[in-house]
Structure 1
Amino acid sequence: MSTHPPFRKVFEGIATRSQMFALFNRHRDKPGVDPLSGVPYASEWFEISASEYHFMLGLLPPLFQRTGMFGMSEYKAGNVTSVFFAIRIRGRERWFHGFCDLSDKPSPDAMRAAIIAHETGAVDSMTREEKLEAIWSATHADFRGIAGETNPDAWPPEHHGKRTILVYTVGQGTTLKLLQDLTDEEIDSRMPAVHARSRRKGGNDAKPS
């Protein structure tokens, strides 16, 4: 049985070059993450522009290349490398980056299919995990954090290293809450704001981790 994580979109809008490189390293300082495994990155994807696609294609000789797809010869870590896609969706050419674990040989084609399935659906087709990633990416750094990073005593040890986000709760005011513990209502209330931000300047004002 495959143990690979599900494909998940981690940024709303079209990432600029600086955002793209930030997303390439978004797990770099995450506590408890083995930077040599590549596992935290495997199966993550986001949209880029044509210029970034062609910039990366010209950066290094590709590991492999075929119509609408190429892989980077420089691996992120372990068996995980960047794969770039040019995909026509509903008559419009679009470009994407994804991290694929090439120990699972069909993963680039599976990711391409997952991107098409996601982008031809509505917000309602997003999984809970994808929505949480979108909310995290669109939330300003001042309003999110890592449990136990600055005040270890504020969180039980089992929650240290998990992502937190500021939420407003009636009767309690603004408090920090684990991202993974957001209710469906809290997620849904944040999704319209996420998508509104992604439409402005192609998502340029979103802040990846």
Structure 2
Amino acid sequence: MTSLNPIRKIFQGVAGRRQMFTLFDRHARRPNRREEGASILYAGEWFEITEAGHDYMLEVLPPLWIRGSIFAMREFMTGSVTSVCFALRINRAIRYFHGYCDLSDGNSVEAMRQAIIERECRPESAMTREERLEHIWSITSEAYRGYACARWPNSVRGQRTVVLQAGAGALFQKLLSDLTDDEISAKLPVQLRHLPTPLAA
């Protein structure tokens, strides 16, 4: 079985303990939370964590399994999707990562491992448009992000939105996917605004 969910980096930098717990369930306020079908939101998401965060995850519960430097959490986030933690040697340093893998796909863990290594071995810092949008979603307070509701056209209901500021301090909602380059730049932390976009392979 091949995963339908793209493997995607959702946070730039190393998430500390507080940020790590926020990132674990950044879809907490999604509409119809109690309904099935949330796996597509989580499966494929990954971000870098600290060694202390990695060790905490290993010690909080006995793992479902351990395979070398990778282990899976016993508690599932949704459906067959659970946390998988990686300790990977990248450019001669051991780094730590958390990802959500759909264990019904026998290739999901290895595909994520390879994707993380490939992404983190780039010779210079760069962020794709998708990574910029995911980072914005990850760092935006829940008070300023949400989902397109009944006021929106049927075709976009349930899609992610963020609050932007118009002239004279007025606020308005816009689909995350529709942000312009200038709006993305304004939403990113200063140190990330001028990172290059990687060239297409």
Question: TM-score, normalization: structure 1?
Answer: 0.76
- Counterpart for residue 160 of structure 1: 157
Opposite residue 147 of structure 2, the aligned amino acid is I
The Cα shift of 1:30 comes to 0.3
Opposite residue 193 of structure 1, the aligned amino acid is V
- Counterpart for residue 51 of structure 1: 52
CA contact (8 A) 1:72 1:83 kept: yes
Opposite residue 114 of structure 2, the aligned amino acid is A
CA contact (8 A) 2:11 2:131 kept: no
- The alignment yields a C-alpha RMSD, in angstroms, of 2.8
Identity fraction in percent: 47
**Where in structure 1 are there 5+ consecutive unaligned residues?**
197-209
Q: Does 1:111 align with 2:112?
A: yes
The superposition leaves residues 122-168 of structure 1 with CA deviations (integer Å, 9 ceiling, x where unpaired) of: 454x44322210122233445433333xxx43x32433322222346
CA contact (8 A) 1:46 1:96 kept: yes
Greater relative contact order: 1 or 2 (C-alpha under 8 angstroms, separation 6 or more)? 1
- Counterpart for residue 199 of structure 1: none
**Where in structure 2 are there 5+ consecutive unaligned residues?**
194-201
Q: Is the partner of 1:81 in helix, strand or coil?
A: strand
Q: Is the partner of 2:138 in helix, strand or coil?
A: helix
- Counterpart for residue 174 of structure 2: 177
- Counterpart for residue 24 of structure 1: 24
- Counterpart for residue 95 of structure 2: 94
Which of 175, 184, 187 is 2:184 aligned to? 187
Q: Is the partner of 1:2 in helix, strand or coil?
A: coil
Opposite residue 55 of structure 2, the aligned amino acid is H
Provide the rounded CA distance (Å) in 1 between the counterparts of 2:60 and 2:171: 45
Opposite residue 47 of structure 1, the aligned amino acid is E
Opposite residue 28 of structure 1, the aligned amino acid is A
Q: Does 1:75 align with 2:76?
A: yes
Provide the rounded CA distance (Å) in 2 between the counterparts of 1:135 and 1:105: 31
Q: Is the partner of 2:135 in helix, strand or coil?
A: helix
